[in-house]
A and B are shown apart, each in its own frame.
Chain A
Amino acid sequence: MNRLWMATSAMALVLLGVHLTACKQSSDPAASEDIPIGVYLSLSGANADFGVTTKNGIDLAVEEINAAGGIGGKKIRVIAKDTRSKPEEAQTVAKQLATQDKVVAAIGSVESGQSIKAAPVFQEAGIPMVSPSSTNPDVTKQGDRIFRVCYLDDFQGQACADFAFKDMKATKAGLLYAADDDYSKGLAGFFREHFKKLGGEIVAEATFQGDVSEFKDQVSAVAAKEPALVFVPVYYSKIGLIAREFRKQGFKGPLLGGDGWESEQLVQLAGETLEGCYFGYHYDPEDADPKVQGYIKGYREKFKKEPNSLSALGYDAVYAIKQAIELGGGPGRDQITEGLRKIRGFKGVTGTFDIDENRNARKPITMLKIGGTDLKKVKVIQPGDIK
């Protein structure tokens, strides 16, 4: 028994040693020669894909900036922390970034739940935080140092309603969404409100809860009312199953969705059933803009993979901070916060945007049409278009 105890204590001591030395290294005072930027993302766990993709975009942007001589001669140093896909862990790592690593700005997270937990920590510490892709309206309401570079769910829902009513000439729409998911429920709500305001009618609504894979009842309830189109704001893992069920039950109209549809596997999961359907997206991958094409080329070379919107938003978040440092006059926490507030007409991969008085990005949404294995841009909706 004694031996087991000794082995356990020895292991604990080794771990403690590793921990303390690692902490010592990170608080090295010589490191203030560069610009420390904290990143907290789900690098492991259920949502690891979100975090790793975003981190790739961030790394690409930082590599480009540092290769070009940094910002004002100072190089960016990224300190990445893994939230293990747990919201409460986001708060713990936010504290580490704020006090141990003494970052001047933070980027994170993809999941709104994590961003909301980490925001008060950065706000209290006076550190500006830029969320690359948390679309929930509550995120930037957590404090006057909390920013984001993606559009919001309300704009996304309204833009889809606008597109459905004006461009697809639909007056009768159906809704199918997840009632226990904030993203899905939120988008459905904003779509419903705006579609009715424009003069359209929501003829059928159906919801599901939890991780289900059977949508027969919901689909038949919606299809029976014969809407011209159905708005299905769900994540990509569900849309394939839902689209198949719609086609199986003989519904021919198009389906419409938000950025949650995006995935390399989208066409693969849905087969031909999503042919002719539309979804709102952060940028147009076919855009001839050298900025967009340069980013896509750089990403393919570095990671041997296709970029997506999450990596593009991570990439834009870094460049937004770079511009904020230039506008604010230096890499201090207050200077970056001031600089971020002043961003107007920022040209990013995900479109040209302003940071508005609520610290959200006012930016366009790109409607893409699914055809075969291709995605084709059909319309770009500007924030000013929605009335």
Chain B
Amino acid sequence: MARNLLVMLGLLAGCYGFNFVMAEFIEVVYVDYINLCGLAIILAVGLNVINGLAGQFSLGHAGFMSVGAFAGAYASIMLTYGVIESGPLSFVSMGSFLLCLALSGLSAAAVGALVGAPTLRLKGDYLAIATLGFAEITRIVLTAQDAIGGPTGLKRIPKMPLLPGSEKWDGGTSTFWIYAFVCLVILLSVNLQRSTFGRALICVRENELAAETMGVRASRMKIMAFVYGAFFAGIAGCLYAHYQHSVRPDDFTTVRSIEVVVMLVLGGLGSLTGAVVGAVIVTLLPQFLRPLEESLGLSGLSMVVYAALLLLMMLFRPQGIFGQRELSLKLLRRLVPGGGKESRP
């Protein structure tokens, strides 16, 4: 526990330095890409617990994200301005922001438990359809709420809070906040995979009946997986709202849920490293293809390349880039020529 806290503190300091480098030396456009990657990683790593570890095929991640986004954004607007109206953006205070993040995570987690409980008896395709339905219902319910802006949603969401010494950073502190949660979700997930809970989730995925026989409460495990994944989706939603300064229910369509699933499948379902790499590729590919599109004058080219890439992937490497393997020091040593021999006794 103490070791983990120390690691987290070290990572936070690293994120602070990372944000400093971003704000001082890197063009805003690339900082934007890096931040978008961070948001995608939080989503993908969260979903990896539901889809990858527990093997529950969920297509409702955008739903959890929207709950977190609207809860956090509404709280943040109320705490900062006290009223919903248009005007110049300001910074949310540190205390309020942490409160909003907690609120986002917890409200999404609560919804995750609500969705997890009744859909427990569903498997595979049926569960996918049920979660898809849940996400659509959430979106339609949010669209109908005039108190949170109806179809145009919430606007004028404040900027993420300042940090000591960050006043002169042009790019703000988004990178710090996003990557702090990237580190947290990865750290938690690494530990989770090695914990009793994580092993139990894998048991449920591999053979539910056998898991039950061994004393694993499959239903409880599944709910916990949903709660965990939804919590981080909620956090990602809150960060997304503060990053974009506006959220609309239509930002969270089925397309977004599917995008997160694609990240996992591309990277390798069940692999944490795969989730991270998949998130980065799916986020960056359309952006890196943009100059190509513009110079050739072919709008929409990125969609073709994207689809072709997925097709090739499924044909030649259906288990995803990493399969179920993880990038670890051991694997690195094996890749370096001669490195593998030294580690042998």
- A residues with a Cβ closer than 8 A to B are 4, 15-16, 18-19, 22-23, 43-45, 48, 80-82, 84, 87-88, 91-92, 95-96, 98-100, 112-113, 116-117, 120, 123-124, 136, 138, 141-144, 179-182, 185, 209
* Cross-chain contact A99 with B27 (CB below 8 angstroms): yes
- Inside 8 A of A141's CB, which chain B residues have their CB? 86-87, 155
- Which residues from chain B contact A98 at a C-beta distance below 8 Å? 28
Contact of A4 among B152, B250, B316 (CB under 8 A): B316
**Interface contact A100-B27, CB-CB below 8 Å:** yes
Q: Is B213 an interface residue (CB 8 A)?
A: no
Q: Are A180 and B151 interface neighbours, CB within 8 A?
A: yes
**Known interface pairs A99-B28, A116-B152; A15-B292 also in contact (CB < 8 Å):** yes
Q: Are B29 and A4 in contact (CB under 8 A)?
A: no
Q: Pick the interface stretch among B71-79, B107-115, B231-239, B240-248.
A: B240-248
Specify which chain A residues have a CB less than 8 angstroms from the CB of B248 in the assembled complex. Answer: 87, 113, 116
Docked Cα-Cα span, A81 to B293, in Å, equals 10
Known: A95-B28, A113-B248, A185-B150. A180 touches B143 (CB 8 A): yes
Which residues of the other chain, A, contact B288 by a CB distance below 8 angstroms?
A: 15-16, 18-19
A4 vs B292: C-alpha distance when bound (angstroms): 23
Which residues of B are interface residues toward A (Cβ below 8 A)? 27-29, 32, 36, 86-89, 140, 143-144, 150-152, 155-156, 244-246, 248, 250-251, 286-295, 299-300, 302-303, 316-317
Assess whether B246 is in contact with A116, with CB atoms less than 8 Å apart: yes
Min distance, Cβ B109 to any Cβ of chain A, angstroms: 24
Cα A185 to Cα B146 with chains together (Å):
11
CA distance A141 to B248 in the complex (A): 16
User: Which residues of B lie under 8 Å from residue A88 when comparing CB positions?
Assistant: 244, 251
Determine if A18 and B151 form an interchain contact, defined as CB atoms under 8 angstroms apart. no
Residues of A within 8 A of B150 (CB): 182, 185
Q: Could you say which residues of chain A place their CB within 8 Å of the CB of B86?
A: 138, 141-142
Q: Are A22 and B294 in contact (CB under 8 A)?
A: yes
| 21 pairs from A and B in contact (CB 8 Å cutoff) | A4-B317, A15-B289, A18-B288, A18-B295, A19-B290, A22-B295, A23-B291, A44-B303, A45-B300, A48-B300, A82-B290, A84-B286, A95-B28, A113-B248, A117-B244, A117-B245, A123-B89, A124-B89, A136-B152, A142-B155, A180-B140
Q: 10 closest Cβ contacts across the A-B interface?
A: A22-B291, A141-B86, A44-B300, A44-B299, A182-B151, A99-B28, A43-B299, A120-B245, A82-B299, A95-B32
Cα of A81 to Cα of B151 in the assembled complex, Å: 25
* Shortest distance between the CB of A50 and any CB in chain B (Å): 13
**B245 CB contacts on chain A under 8 angstroms:** 117, 120
Contacts of B144 in A (CB 8 A): 179-180
Are A113's CB and B291's CB within 8 A? no
The docked-state distance in angstroms from the alpha carbon of A371 to that of B151 is 34
Known contacts A87-B248, A138-B155, A180-B151; is-contact A209 B291 (Cβ 8 Å): no
Instruction: Check A96 against B29 for contact (C-beta < 8 Å).
Output: yes
- Closest partner residue, chain B, to A140 (CB atom): B86
Residues of B close to A43: CB separation below 8 A: 299
A220 to chain B, nearest CB (A): 24
* Cα A138 to Cα B86 with chains together (Å): 8
- Determine if B36 and A92 form an interchain contact, defined as CB atoms under 8 angstroms apart: yes
A48, A81, A142, A179, most chain B CB atoms within 10 A: A142
- Distance between Cα atoms of A268 and B19 in the complex (Å): 56
Instruction: Return chain B residues, CB-CB under 8 Å to A144.
Output: 88
Distance A81 CA – B250 CA, assembled complex (angstroms): 22
Contacts of A96 in B (CB 8 A): 29
B248 (CB) vs chain A CBs: closest residue = A113
By a CB distance below 8 angstroms, the chain A residues around B89 are 120, 123-124
Instruction: Please indicate the chain A residues that have their CB under 8 angstroms from the CB of B300 in the complex.
Output: 44-45, 48, 84
In the bound complex, CA of A179 to CA of B144 (Å): 8
For B293, the chain A residues whose CB sits under 8 A away are: 82
Give Cα A16–Cα B156 distance, bound, in whole angstroms: 35
Contacts of A22 in B (CB 8 A): 291-292, 294-295
Contact, CB under 8 Å: B152 / A138: yes
Kindly list chain A residues whose C-beta atoms are within 8 Å of the C-beta of B27.
Answer: 99-100
A18 touches B292 (CB 8 A): yes
Which of chain B's residues have a CB closer than 8 A to the CB of A209? 140
Q: Tell me how far the C-beta of B298 lies from the nearest C-beta in chain A, rounded to whole angstroms.
A: 9
Complex CA gap A117/B87 in Å reads 14
B88 to chain A: which residues have CB within 8 Å? 123, 143-144
* Distance between B174 CB and nearest chain A CB, rounded to angstroms: 12
Return B323 CB to nearest CB of chain A, in Å. Answer: 11
Task: Kindly identify which residue among B36, B246, B294, B295 contacts A117, using a CB–CB cutoff of 8 Å.
Answer: B246
Nearest neighbor of A90 in chain B, beta-carbon distance: B244
Q: Which residues of A contact B299 (CB under 8 A)?
A: 43-44, 48, 82, 84
Question: How many angstroms from the CA of A192 to the CA of B32 in the assembled complex?
Answer: 43
| Given A23-B291, A88-B251, residue A185 in contact with residue B151 (CB < 8 A) | yes
Q: Which of A4, A15, A91, A181 contacts B151 (CB 8 A)?
A: A181
Q: Which residues of A contact B250 (CB under 8 A)?
A: 87, 113
A80 to B300, CA, bound (A): 14
- Other than the known A23-B29, A116-B246, what 20 A-B pairs have Cβ atoms closer than 8 Å? A4-B316, A4-B317, A18-B292, A44-B303, A45-B300, A80-B294, A82-B290, A84-B302, A92-B36, A96-B29, A98-B28, A99-B28, A100-B27, A113-B152, A113-B248, A117-B245, A142-B155, A142-B156, A181-B151, A209-B140
CB distance from A76 to the nearest CB of B (A): 18
A96 and B317 alpha carbons, distance in the complex (Å)? 35
When chains A and B are docked, how far (Å) is the Cα of A95 from the Cα of B291?
Answer: 15
Distance (whole angstroms) from the CB of A190 to the closest CB of chain B: 14
Give every chain B residue within 8 A of A181 (Cβ-Cβ).
151
Q: How far is the CB of A63 from chain B (nearest CB, A)?
A: 17
Q: Which residues of B sit under 8 angstroms from A16, Cβ to Cβ?
A: 288
Complex contact B151–A120 (CB within 8 A): no
- Nearest B residue to A11, CB-CB: B309
Q: Which residues of A contact B286 (CB under 8 A)?
A: 84
Residues of B within 8 A of A15 (CB): 288-289, 292
CA distance A91 to B302 in the complex (A): 18
A180–B145 alpha-carbon span in the complex (Å): 10
